[in-house]
Every structure is written in C-alpha cells, then in structure tokens.
Amino acid sequence: MTLRTLDSLRDTVGSLEGKRVIVRCDLNVPLRDGVITDDGRVRASLPTLNALINAGARVVVCSHLGRPDGAPDPKYSLAPVAQRLSELLGKPVAFARDTVDESAQQAVASLEDGGVVVLENLRFNPGETSKDDAERAAFAARLAALGDAMVSDGFGVVHRKQASVYELAQQLPSAAGLLIATELDVLDRLTEKPERPYTVVLGGSKVSDKLGVISHLLPRVDRLLVGGGMLFTFLAAEGHAVASSLLEKDQLDTVRGYITEAKERGVELVLPTDVVVASGFAADAAHEVVAADAIEQSSFGASGIGLDIGPDTAAAFAAAIRDSKTVFWNGPMGVFEFPAFAAGTKAVAQALTEIDGLGVVGGGDSAAAVRQLGFADDQFGHISTGGGASLEFLEGKKLPGLEVLGWL
C-alpha cells in the first residue's frame, strides 16, 4: 500500500466542497502566560488548511496541547492557537469550548464552505490517550460524528496510537495532509540513498533517548557528531573523567559498543575536543573552556558541569557539516536557553544553513533552538515538526499513525 493523500481522498469522497473535513494537526506550541512563544507548528499547518479552504471544505481543526491529564485545564487551552491561526489565515476562525460536546457540535453545524473551527484541546477528554482500545474508539466515534472525512497532518503525533491519530482515521475516509507528505519525503531521503558525505549530528541530554537512532543510522552514515549532554557519556566511555556533568553510567557499555562499531564500519565518530565547563547549572554561572579530557582540571574541580561544546569543537563540527551533502541534526549542543552556553548550538545551526545539499533540523528542541537563536525557517532545507516521530522513523520503527494511512 502507499500513503493516501489529499488527491486520493477526493477520489474516495468526491468534491470536498461542503464536506466537513476533520484535520488532526499538531498545534502543541509553547505558551508563556497564554502567549505563544514559537508558532512554527501553527505555520506548518497552513498549506493543508489553505488547500482545504480553497477546495470549499468545512474545516474542523483538532489538536492536543501539553499534558492536561484527561480533564479541562485553562492553561492548556487552544484558544490562543485559534487566534493565531485566524491571524495567519487572514480570516475568522471559530473556537469550540469543548472537544465533542455542545459547543463543538454547534460550531461545526454553523460552518460555511471554506470556514474553519478549532476544537478545544483533545486531551481534555481521557479517551484521546487512553490505553484502552475501546475507550479510544468510543471517543474517536464522537469525533467522527463531526466530520465526513479526516486528514491527518500532525506529524509530531504519528508515532502515538491515540484516538484522533489512529482510530479516527479508521472510522472516516482518511488521508495524509501536505505536511506529513513533506516530512516523509525528507525522511525517505535521509534513509534511502542519501547524497554523500552524509553526516548526523546528535545532541540533547541523554544517550538513552538516541539509542535506536544511533543503532539504525551507524550503518548508513559517513560521520556521526556527538554533542549536548550525551557527549559526557561518550567521553566517560573513553575513560575520561567528566566531573559533575550529566552521565548515564548504565549506558557506558552500550556507548563503548557504538565506538567500536563506528571504527569497524569506517564511520568517522567526531567527539568534542573542548568543553565549556560551569560552576553550576545557571545562566550566570562562572564558566571556562577546558580540554574534553581535562574537565576535572577546570577551576571548579569535581563540581564543574559541562554545559556546551567548546569553540574548537564548534568549529570542527561546522566544518564537517559544511563538507556534507546530507545532514540530519537532532538535539542542541548545549544549554542554548542560557546565552552563555548557546554558542555551540548556534555554530551548528549556522553551518547547516550553508551546506550545498539537504540540511534537516530534526524537530523538538533543535527547532526551538534555531528560532530562539534568530534563524528563519527558510534558511534550512527542512525543519521537522516531530522530534520524537522523526527519531522513531529513523530507528526503523513502524508508526501507527502512518500505517493507518497506508504507509507500510
């Protein structure tokens, strides 16, 4: 089977004009005091929504936001997202104060052709994320009653078997939206015959979060660059002391295995040669650059904590990236939220904008970092909207939200 698309949906249900189309987006944006701090996921939903609006569909947008634990919680309301969506679409967007009850039913019934409504946070209903198949199916049935067809476009949730992602796609004629189709095209280019040299840059806090993707990609890549908190487990695996830096002792043997495998496969494993070590985990912490094999020799001794790759490493990483034809990057190089420890992440991001080839920012914290550091989305080949989903795809896992759309 092949992925069902908007074109195949038209083949199934005919003209979309006047049809109620439920669109499962991923509008899980960061909020601070009710204000969206990064609207990247909202903007990523626009191509599919505009395609449906232009086709005369009556568009019912649904999404989750945060983890409200199956009950309404005002701080996780999608109301600010509906407002932002209205601004970006340049037209009124209605907002239903519940997911499937009276407000949602009335709002959907009031839609005109080309109109848009956003339902309240799906996770205000326990059926959305229930472990019980029947409970999820029952909630999906109530959602399905609001629509004639379903478009799945929330790539960030396709690795989850949740009611609006999986069961809803079974209960209505369903297809993938343009965002999912784009994400899959890019990920396919990363796994099937990528242009070489092919470099993967991994950061973030924990090696354990990246075990699957390292295992799956080692046979496929030319270079693996390791930064972020996970670098200290690699350094420790090589026998270096890392002071009070983040260390997963239970992963040392696994990491030693990766180091050995990289050598055997001829993969260039690039680890930091210098590190920014701080007196503590704080934006204003005293800090200095030390050699990666001399972390405990910093002014802070055994209490020092590594919070970024050093300038020499940043330059080496940037050179390796610029020398590549294909780059996948997931995970910041340091604590980019603190300006003093953002230089490594910024150097990687800058280099990714300069490659002659495909540069992919793998969603999650990496996407948040590039925007916070002042980069524009269009400076990169692609910014994924689904960090976890991207990693699981690259691990070779089956994703239920894709399988239900025909992707095998």
Long-range contacts of 100-105 (CB under 8 A, 24+ apart): 100/125, 100/139, 100/142, 100/143, 100/145, 100/146, 104/146, 105/146
**Domains, the chain:** 6-182 (3.40.50.1260), 194-394 (3.40.50.1260)
Residue of 206, 220, 256, 325 with catalytic role? 206
- Does residue 252 contact residue 236 with C-beta atoms inside 8 Å? yes
- Binding-site members for ATP are 210, 306, 337, 363-366
Q: Hey, what amino acid is at 393?
A: F
Q: Which two tokens stand for residue 33?
A: 């005091």
Q: Which residues of 39-61 are buried (b: 16+ CB within 10 A; e: fewer)?
A: bbbbebbbebbebbbebebbbbb
From 4, 41, 58, 161, active-site residue = 41
The single residue of 257, 280, 381, 388 carrying the catalytic annotation is 388
Distance separating alpha carbons of residues 234 and 152, to the nearest angstrom: 39
- Residue of 310, 364, 387, 401 marked catalytic: 364
Per-position DSSP letters for 149-163, written without gaps between them: EEEE--GGGTTS--I
Global pTM value: 0.89
Question: What is the chain's pLDDT, residue by residue, as a tens digit (408 residues)?
Answer: 589 999 999 999 999 999 999 999 999 999 988 899 889 899 999 999 999 999 999 999 999 999 998 999 999 999 999 999 999 999 999 999 999 999 999 999 999 999 999 999 999 999 999 999 999 999 999 999 999 999 999 999 999 999 999 999 999 999 999 999 999 999 888 888 899 999 999 998 888 888 888 998 999 999 999 999 999 999 999 999 999 999 999 999 999 999 999 999 999 999 999 999 999 999 999 999 999 999 999 999 999 999 999 999 999 999 999 999 999 999 999 999 999 999 999 999 999 999 999 999 987 788 889 999 999 999 999 998 887 888 888 888 899 999 999 987
Is residue 371 among the annotated active site residues? no
- The verdict on whether 388 is a catalytic residue reads yes
To the query of whether residue 43 is one of the catalytic residues in this protein, the response is no
What are residue 151's DSSP bridge partners? 23, 175
Binding residues for substrate: 26-28, 41, 64-67, 123, 160
Asked about 364 being catalytic, the answer comes back as: yes
Please enumerate, by residue number, every residue annotated as part of a binding site for (2R)-3-phosphoglycerate.
41, 123, 160
Residue 146 carries which DSSP code? T
Show binding-site residues.
Answer: 26-28, 41, 64-67, 123, 160, 210, 306, 337, 363-366
Look at the alpha carbons of 235, 369, 383, 117 in this order and tell me if their dihedral is positive or negative.
positive
Contacts of 315 (CB under 8 A, 6+ apart): 347
Per-residue confidence (pLDDT) for residue 389, from 0 to 100: 87
CB neighbours of 374 closer than 8 A, spacing ≥ 6? Answer: none
Using an 8 Å Cβ cutoff, are 23 and 48 in contact? Answer: yes
